[in-house]
């Protein structure tokens, strides 16, 4: 039985990974400070995991968290581009320095592999589509700069210290347990809740911006496959579905699922937002057999069902 540390394990993506690990019988420890994570995300698994409430910025806490674990799935972060624009210092401390703490502690604890959750936002607004891992990054926001710094540390720790690191650039992950009410909530839960309330979803820009929306179960599967696959040290992979949908198409799809006819309202585009996002997933497919098994439409239906009936999540 392998042992895992999931940083940010009470968050949206982290808690879905925790559930998958618990389900297959692995030993799981979670590190989370509950700044954005929620205890209810772990409700079904709390009696089967070890929970450390603590902050990535505190090296002593991180050292305690990595002791005697085989693998670290580093999902812990302070999410949101707009939040990073408002507070770049905290975003850097959590996402860049916090990642450095995880890697340093993992090296000293002889962890077998660290999988790092980065972001498609590091590509910026390059017009070239689909995004491939060999493209030059061009981060537009403090959030994406901090995520890119974490990538650099992962590569350096592999090259300098031999710590086995794998870097994932997630593309617009969505699904059950994603926060619909925060000021910085992601677009799918935010739009869904607005339409359910009979309100108009707010689009920043003209709605033609597109995203490679990726259902969370695909991301969970990628993490588990990468842990099991040798020879990935220091490498970078897009994790997505390789299909793009505009925000206008998203509103149409949600209206169809919910039986509504909500009309979006439009606001000025936000600083730091990327116009189009579409991934090539050929590298991940070739390297460790990654293949998204749940499509955008299927995942959207599952997500809406959970948002309508939260206890089912």
Answer yes or no: is 302 within a domain: no
Burial of 238 (0-12, 13-18, 19+ CB in 10 A): buried
Helix (H) or strand (E) holding 235: strand 235-239
Answer yes or no: is 229 within a domain: yes
Q: How many domains does the chain have?
A: 1
d(C-alpha 59, C-alpha 64), whole Å: 9
pLDDT of res. 185: 78
Answer yes or no: is 303 within a domain: no
Inter-axis angle of helices 59-66 and 98-108, to 10 degrees? Answer: 40
Answer yes or no: is 183 within a domain: no
d(C-alpha 85, C-alpha 91), whole Å: 9
Answer yes or no: is 268 within a domain: no
Answer yes or no: is 313 within a domain: no
d(C-alpha 50, C-alpha 65), whole Å: 10
pLDDT of res. 313: 52
Beta pairing class for 173-174 and 265-267 = unpaired
The Cβ-side half-sphere exposure at 13, using a 13 Å CA radius, reads 31
Q: What is the largest CA-CA distance in the chain?
A: 56
Which SS3 state, helix, strand or coil, does residue 298 take?
helix
pLDDT of res. 311: 64
pLDDT of res. 3: 98
pLDDT of res. 272: 82
Answer yes or no: is 235 within a domain: yes
Which CATH number characterizes residue 65's domain? 3.40.50.720
Burial of 204 (0-12, 13-18, 19+ CB in 10 A): middle
Answer yes or no: is 97 within a domain: yes
Contact 162, 175 (CB under 8 A): no
Q: What is the mean pLDDT of each run of 10 residues along the chain (313 residues)?
A: 97 98 98 97 97 98 98 97 95 98 98 98 93 97 97 98 98 95 88 96 96 98 98 98 98 97 96 91 98 98 92 56
Q: Which domain holds residue 130?
A: 3-174+215-240+279-293
């Amino acid at each position: 039985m392998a042992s895992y540390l999931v940083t940010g394990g009470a968050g949206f993506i982290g808690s879905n990974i925790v559930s998958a690990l618990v389900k297959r019988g692995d030993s799981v420890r979670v590190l989370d400070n509950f700044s954005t994570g929620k205890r209810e995300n772990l409700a079904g698994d709390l009696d089967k995991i070890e929970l450390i409430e603590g902050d990535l910025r505190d090296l002593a806490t991180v050292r305690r968290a990595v002791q005697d674990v085989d693998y670290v799935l580093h999902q812990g972060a302070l999410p949101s581009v707009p939040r990073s624009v408002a507070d770049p210092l905290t975003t850097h401390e959590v996402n860049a320095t916090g990642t450095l703490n995880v890697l340093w502690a993992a090296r000293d604890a002889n962890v077998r592999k660290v999988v790092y959750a980065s972001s498609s936002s590091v590509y910026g607004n390059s017009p070239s589509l689909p995004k491939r891992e060999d493209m030059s990054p061009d981060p537009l926001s403090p959030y994406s700069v901090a995520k890119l710094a974490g990538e650099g540390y992962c590569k350096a720790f592999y090259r300098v210290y031999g710590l086995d690191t794998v870097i994932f650039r997630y593309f617009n992950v969505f699904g059950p347990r994603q926060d619909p009410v925060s000021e910085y909530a992601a677009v799918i839960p935010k739009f869904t809740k607005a339409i359910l309330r009979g309100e108009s979803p707010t689009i920043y820009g003209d709605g033609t911006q597109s995203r490679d929306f990726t259902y969370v179960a695909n991301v969970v599967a990628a993490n588990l496959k990468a842990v099991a696959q040798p020879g990935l040290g220091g490498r970078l992979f897009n994790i997505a579905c390789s299909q793009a949908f505009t925000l206008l198409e998203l509103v149409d799809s949600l209206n169809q699922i919910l039986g509504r006819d909500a009309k979006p309202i439009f606001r000025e585009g936000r600083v730091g937002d990327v116009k189009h996002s579409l991934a090539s997933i050929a590298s991940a497919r070739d390297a460790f057999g990654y293949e998204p098994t749940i499509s955008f439409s299927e995942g959207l239906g599952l997500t809406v069902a959970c948002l309508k009936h939260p206890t089912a999540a």
